Chains A and B, each alone.
Chain A
């Protein structure tokens, strides 16, 4: 196991010890080690713990992406978290929710980076981020219909009287 993956695994073990069954097993792949949050409602607590625990110090959110798991009827996010400034380690966290009307706790109060990233995930996939301070679309017009990066997305015929498809 490469040293970087071992560091990620060590960080995961600390989280697992604190949260137990609320997090899934660690997938210690060499590309990007990750774990899944099994209990979505605990996500904000886990995030705060990951940022503030002196052994973890995940002080940098590198990215937050959205995913559409259409076959499972779920939407999800993938957060790439890193600790910088001291001994560097990183890990990815996956959080999922129901595809229709599902919600994920917002972590924009933990990492300010998440504010706009969550807005973008909402804009493209349509999951709700509970407790987000500014829950609006970020790229599409505010009165746009549908969520463009969902796998079953069909573009609307007209927007304000202008034909949209080619």
Chain B
């Protein structure tokens, strides 16, 4: 899968495409913006910390949108916050990715009907690449979402639009139930 898994011989020369090298470099150092909005942020922080150790994926939070590749919208986006989220998103350099974490930022969550103050899904103001369901999602689920972002990066290339990459990703999707079943069998 990764570039380093390929056997390097012949005086450390490796023949590959520019797309491959760029994608490998980008997906190996996805820097999310360090901000959280509600209880999902607690799970996100737990995922960053030593138990789940996001740094093994090259993911660690940056405190400026200008240094970030990825925005993890972790929590309830209020109407008051919505415009600030847009401002932060606009300050991120391209290519940028958005992961919507948890029911609130996916669709308004428990506030969908009577929560006058909640934006019913962050995708009403910024484009979202990956949605992670849960209330809040466990760290494993967030890691799953981040790996999905990495897969999305792998689908990209020079001249390939984000829509095409997302389409390729959707076509390549695997049924998680099978993978879970295999893992259970292996541990049993």
Residues of A within 8 A of B (CB): 139-141, 144, 148, 153, 155, 159-160, 162-166
Contact = CB atoms under 8 A, between A and B. Distances in A.
Residue of A140, A155, A166 ringed by the most chain B CB atoms within 10 A: A166
Contacts of A166: 107-108, 112-113, 120
Q: Which 9 A-B pairs have the closest CB atoms?
A: A155-B116, A166-B120, A166-B112, A141-B80, A148-B116, A159-B79, A162-B82, A162-B124, A166-B108
| A interface: dominant SS | loop
B83 interface: yes
B117 interface: yes
Interface string B103-139: 0000110001100110110001100000000000000
A162 B113 contact: no
Given A148-B116, A148-B117, A155-B116, A162 B108 contact: no
Residue of A148, A155, A162 ringed by the most chain B CB atoms within 10 A: A162
Contacts of A144: 79
A155 B107 CA distance: 17
Given A162-B124, A162-B125, A163-B124, A141 B79 contact: yes
5 contacts: A141-B80, A162-B82, A163-B120, A166-B108, A166-B120
A164 B113 contact: no
Nearest to B117: A140
